[in-house]
Amino acid sequence: MGYIMQPPDEIMTQDFLPSMRQLVALRLRAEGFSQNRISSLLGITQASVSLYLSSRAEKAYSALSALSVSRSQADGYASLLSSAVKKGASEGVTTLHTIWTNLLGKGSICPVHRDLYPALFDCDICIKSYGGRNGARAQAVSEVSEAVKMLEGSPNFAAVMPEVSVNIACAAGDATTPADVIAVPGRIVRVKDKAKAMLPPEPGASAHMSKVLLLVMRRHPQLRACVNVRYDRRMARAMKKTHLQALSIGGYSLPGAADPTAEALEGRLKSASGTFNAVVDEGGNGVEPNLYLFAKGAREVAGIALRLAEYYSAA
């Protein structure tokens, strides 16, 4: 019998998804959301929500542990998913897909899958399809990890972190989709005046940064990494001390746009000429101003961000 008749999707729908739904429901309830609202956010019935809330969370943790997901990882995923579903259905699906394919790529689901279907003892299709252990993805993951450590170790970087937090993204191989771009799930946040990544970098972790990076790569394929930082008058002064060539967008109003910055950038690139290695987003309707920096790699773009942070802090 072929693999297509014995997919790991069964494990997703029977074990992983119900467990994560329960943990997310419990988290949303702790935040004060009603059962009706939780039902709407998760796309399930109120009766299901009631069952999740009345059941012990240990059942979910136990089911996830069997899939090589630790309690702390499960809590981290629940935090990411609860934030995502509050932003919208598509954001929730994207985040869930990223988490699940990352588990498939790491081989975490293989033991359970093989126990269910012993004929798949030599199957490695998920690792090949989604894995980041080898080749370009592994290199990009490693590079973003090092770049994150650079940002986390800086005494100045927190000063240039915007309210929407920071992410750093790096294209793996011949990247053409967000799944080919490595970023930090849940972003890099400010903790006690230092930068701190929520989780280790993984493929497809930031739809927004992926869109921005892939758009710029169409014009400048050599620019394969980006990071966002605060933009204000003080940052504009700090930029004058660097050799950044900036393209500007802002003042836009794009009602209904899923990603106003990306859509404004796409429109601007149609008429832009010359080279650039930074995008100044002066903001728009409900969008905080940000500066996007670009370079050939994640470590290089982190270095540029840290130099700007030094100039910004000294100003």
Q: Which of 112, 130, 148 is the last residue of a domain?
A: 130
Residues in CB range of 11: below 8 A, 6 or more apart: 67, 109, 112, 113, 116
Q: Are 289 and 301 in contact (CB under 8 A)?
A: no
Give me the domain span that covers residue 112.
3-130
Do residue 158 and residue 39 come from a single domain? no
Task: Give residue 31's pLDDT.
Answer: 95
**Using CA of residue 211, residue 215, residue 217, residue 218, what is the dihedral sign?**
positive
Residues in CB range of 151: below 8 A, 6 or more apart: 157, 166, 168, 188, 195, 227, 302, 305, 306
Task: Give residue 67's pLDDT.
Answer: 92
Residue 199 belongs to domain with CATH number: 3.40.225.10
Residues in CB range of 236: below 8 A, 6 or more apart: none
- ∠ CA 40-104-115 to the nearest 5 degrees? 105
Using the CB atoms, write b or e for 195-208: b if 16+ within 10 Å.
Answer: bebbbebbbbbbbb
Task: Give residue 6's pLDDT.
Answer: 83
Q: Which of 97, 130, 163 is the last residue of a domain?
A: 130
Do residue 222 and residue 270 come from a single domain? yes
Using the CB atoms, write b or e for 255-266: b if 16+ within 10 Å.
Answer: eeeeebbbbbbe
Do residue 151 and residue 282 come from a single domain? yes
Do residue 62 and residue 162 come from a single domain? no
Task: Give residue 1's pLDDT.
Answer: 40
Do residue 141 and residue 89 come from a single domain? no
Task: Give residue 302's pLDDT.
Answer: 97
pTM surpassing 0.75? Answer: no
Do residue 269 and residue 187 come from a single domain? yes
Do residue 247 and residue 307 come from a single domain? yes
Q: Which helix (H) or strand (E) holds 203?
A: strand 202-203
Q: What single DSSP character describes residue 281?
A: E
Do residue 148 and residue 65 come from a single domain? no
Do residue 87 and residue 219 come from a single domain? no
- ∠ CA 250-254-165 to the nearest 5 degrees? 60
Q: Which amino acid is at 216?
A: V
Alpha carbon of residue 55 to chain centroid: 30
Do residue 8 and residue 124 come from a single domain? yes
Number of folded domains that form the chain = 2
Residues facing 226 on adjacent strands: 169, 294
Alpha carbon of residue 263 to chain centroid: 19
Q: Which helix (H) or strand (E) holds 100?
A: helix 89-106
Do residue 150 and residue 267 come from a single domain? yes
Do residue 163 and residue 269 come from a single domain? yes
Q: Which of 130, 164, 195 is the last residue of a domain?
A: 130
pLDDT values of the chain reduced to their tens digit, one per residue, 315 residues: 444 578 899 999 999 999 999 999 999 999 999 999 999 999 999 999 999 999 999 999 999 999 989 998 899 899 889 988 998 888 889 889 888 988 888 788 988 998 888 888 778 788 777 765 456 777 888 899 999 999 999 999 999 999 999 999 999 988 888 888 999 998 999 999 999 998 889 888 999 999 999 999 999 999 999 999 999 999 999 999 998 999 999 888 777 778 899 999 999 999 888 899 999 999 888 889 999 999 999 999 999 999 999 999 997
Task: Give residue 135's pLDDT.
Answer: 61
